[in-house]
Every structure is written in C-alpha cells, then in structure tokens.
Structure 1
Amino acid sequence: MSQFDVTVFTDGSCLGNPGPGGWAAIMRCNGCEKELSGGFALTTNNRMEILAVLEALEALRDPCKVTLFTDSQYVRNAVEKKWLAGWQRNGWKTADKKPVKNRDLWERLVPLLAKHSVSFRWVRGHSGHPENERCDVLARAQASRRGLPEDPGFTA
C-alpha cells in the first residue's frame, strides 16, 4: 500500500508566556485542504507548537509521507537533532539531568513519528509565508477565545 503525500503547516501562539494559547495546522493532500485549530486557557508557546504538530499527525488515519513546515526550532530540533531520542534514552531527562519539559506531549509524538515518515522544514515566523501567517491567525484567534479549557499537561 502506498503512502499518501501530505503537506502540513503548523503554528502555536501564546498571549503571554504562559498565558492563553492556541495552535493551528493546515493539511493538504491530493488537492484537498483542511484547517485544524484549538486552544487552552493557560499554557506556553512551546506546548502550542508541539500540539499543532501532534494534532495534525493524529488526524492522519493511515501512515503518510508528511512534509511538515514549522517556525518552531524547538520542535524541529527535538526531532532532527535527536534530542527526543536522547531524552527517552536518559529516562526523560535533559543532558543536564533536569526533567524534560512538555514530556506528556513528546510521549504522544513518539509513536506518530514512527507511524508516519515526517520531514521537517523550518520557515521563519512572521516573514510573509502565506500558510504560516494563516496558521498564526488561526492560533491567535483560538488563544483569544473565551471559555478555553485548561491544558491538562501544563505546570507552572
């Protein structure tokens, strides 16, 4: 069975850090496009960046070949520079033996990276990249909503 080629654009936003936050993803495959977004009442920008990637990959039922555009060096480097693999090997501790932040989200991401063939592409945020700008608008709109749920994994 051949894999679908999917292009994903993601962004996370936080109004204050920590503060109300939102995430967004645009997914494209075979001429179709879907926008996803959500938010939490109190969270961080990095959590929203990871969550945007997670939600997009979780939306794919079958294994896919994914080209993922993000403005988050944190997310991209965690995967491409093998930080994530190192954190797992070290019992979810950083190189300086501190607990890895956002472990709950990273643990959800690990099996998705095994399921899908994901290649990351970094784009400079707020530089006029149309899909990144659209994701930013969607994420900020979510962060601005009233009555956002609590982020169950956020700790101050």
Structure 2
Amino acid sequence: MVDRVYHPPKRRGERTPATVVSHREGAEFSLLRQRRYFPNGGSYLGAGPGIAIFVDGSCLSNGRHNSRDVRAGMGVYFGPNSIHNLSEPLLEGPQTSNRAELQAAILALRKVQRLFCLGDLTPKQHIAIIADSAYVVNGMTDWVYGWRKNGWRAADGGPIRNEADFKKLDNLVRTLEGLGMTIRFWRVDREHNQDADELAKEGAMKGDPSFG
C-alpha cells in the first residue's frame, strides 16, 4: 500500500504552506521546499523538485433554497498568475461541495498528465495536491484501499458516495504513478487555501451568471 500522505519536511514551528511552499509571481509552478544540508552540519529549507498544487471546490446558492438553484465550481492554483491556474464550473452531476472538491483534484491531475505529455514535466516529478477537504484527502490516502479491496463497496457493503469521482481520481493517480511520478495529498486548514477557493468561486459563477 502506497503512503499517499504528503509529509512536510521537519522544521521548527508550524509546517504549513506558508513555510513549505515557494511561490514566485508569474512562475508556472509553485515549488515544495525540501530540507538541504550543509557539508559542515546544519540545514535549511530550499526549493526542491516537488510541485505544489492547491485545489478547492465551491458551491454557491442564489438565495433560493432549491437544489436546481445551486452551482458548484472548481479551482486549481499552481501559483500567483500562473498560466496553468484553472477556474471551471461543475457542469454535470450533483452540484455539491464534495463533488466539486473531488473534481478539482481530478482537474489538477489531468493538467499534470497533459503537461507530462507535452514534455513540461518529468517522469520523476513529485506532486503534492494541497486541499482543505478532509473528505478528499482521507478518501485518497486511506479509505480508497478498503474500497478497492471490497470491490468498491463501503465497509458495511453499501454503496460509496461519489464512487465515480473517486474512481476517476484514483485511476489518475495510479496512471501518473505508473509513469514514475510521486503523487501525494496534503490536508491543510482553509486559511492556507484561499487562492484555490477564490478560483473555485469564480468557476461556480461561470456556470450561471445570475450567481454573481
């Protein structure tokens, strides 16, 4: 069983994206810092080969409490003004936050797959999908192994909510792993995921202009 949890490098104080992720205005990617060691002892956090991708989903209502009046969207944040940032509406299926969060992760890894095919990413690339959704992160780092073992059924034999979305995401991860990439998931507090959240809200509004 592959450990899909991203473990930030050890350092004093909090290990949050603010201390672990390196952003540069207009750069294509945000980089994960890794611990580097001096020959004579000591260490520091320097830019490593890993890429940090923030994902989030949003679900907006126009004030009419009817499921038909809810719109969801996905946000994928590669970095400040990155050409790869994505903001898309959830066009099909139930419009829920959980589905939007799952679809945001799918959107991110499909982008990674395309960039690999274009030669912009290497087979040995390390990718951290950063989300504030415990549902997505726990599902992809823990629950999915039991679901697979049970033939994609829950522990009690019942159906898995959003099974199709989890299957798509799991298959994408396994495909990228087969190419030699390392895919990890990191659950962070919502305050550390504001950029992806804004993109997700914009995506939800694209689905219906009345939600502006």
Work out which of the residue numbers 111, 127, 139 in structure 1 matches 2:200.
Answer: 139
Greater Rg over alpha carbons, structure = 2
- Distance verdict in 2 for CA 1:146–1:80, change over 3 Å: closer
- Counterpart Cα distance in 1 of 2:138 and 2:202: 27
Partner of 2:185: 120
For residues 10-64 of structure 1, give each alpha carbon's deviation from its aligned partner in whole angstroms, at most 9, with x where no partner exists.
Answer: 1111125952101111125xxx652012113651111111111111111113343
Q: What's the TM-score, normalizing by structure 1?
A: 0.77
- Distance verdict in 2 for CA 1:27–1:90, change over 3 Å: same
Partner of 2:14: none
Work out which of the residue numbers 37, 40, 59 in structure 1 matches 2:87.
Answer: 37
Partner of 2:24: none
- Counterpart Cα distance in 2 of 1:90 and 1:9: 31
1:103 counterpart = 2:163:
yes
**Superposed CA RMSD:** 2.2
Partner of 1:152: none
Query: Is the Cα–Cα contact under 8 Å of residues 26 and 36 in structure 1 kept in the other structure?
Result: yes
AA of the residue aligned to 2:60: L
Q: How far 1:146 moved relative to its partner?
A: 4.6
Query: Is the Cα–Cα contact under 8 Å of residues 73 and 100 in structure 2 kept in the other structure?
Result: yes
Q: How far 1:147 moved relative to its partner?
A: 4.3
Q: Which has the higher strand share?
A: 1
For residues 68-104 of structure 1, give each alpha carbon's deviation from its aligned partner in whole angstroms, at most 9, with x where no partner exists.
Answer: 21000011101222x1121122122111222111111
- Counterpart Cα distance in 1 of 2:50 and 2:97: 28
1:51 counterpart = 2:103:
yes
Q: What's the TM-score, normalizing by structure 2?
A: 0.58
Partner of 2:9: none
Q: How far 1:124 moved relative to its partner?
A: 0.9
1:6 counterpart = 2:66:
no
- Counterpart Cα distance in 1 of 2:133 and 2:189: 9
Q: Which runs of 5+ in 2 are unaligned?
A: 1-48, 117-122
Query: Which of 32-41 and 69-78 deviates more?
Result: 32-41
Relative contact order: is structure 1 or structure 2 higher (C-alpha 8 Å, sep ≥ 6)? 1
- Counterpart Cα distance in 1 of 2:75 and 2:189: 16
Residues matched between the structures, number: 137
AA of the residue aligned to 1:20: R
Percent identity reads 31
Query: Is the Cα–Cα contact under 8 Å of residues 26 and 33 in structure 1 kept in the other structure?
Result: no
For residues 83-132 of structure 1, give each alpha carbon's deviation from its aligned partner in whole angstroms, at most 9, with x where no partner exists.
Answer: 1121122122111222111111111112222224112221111x2x2xx1
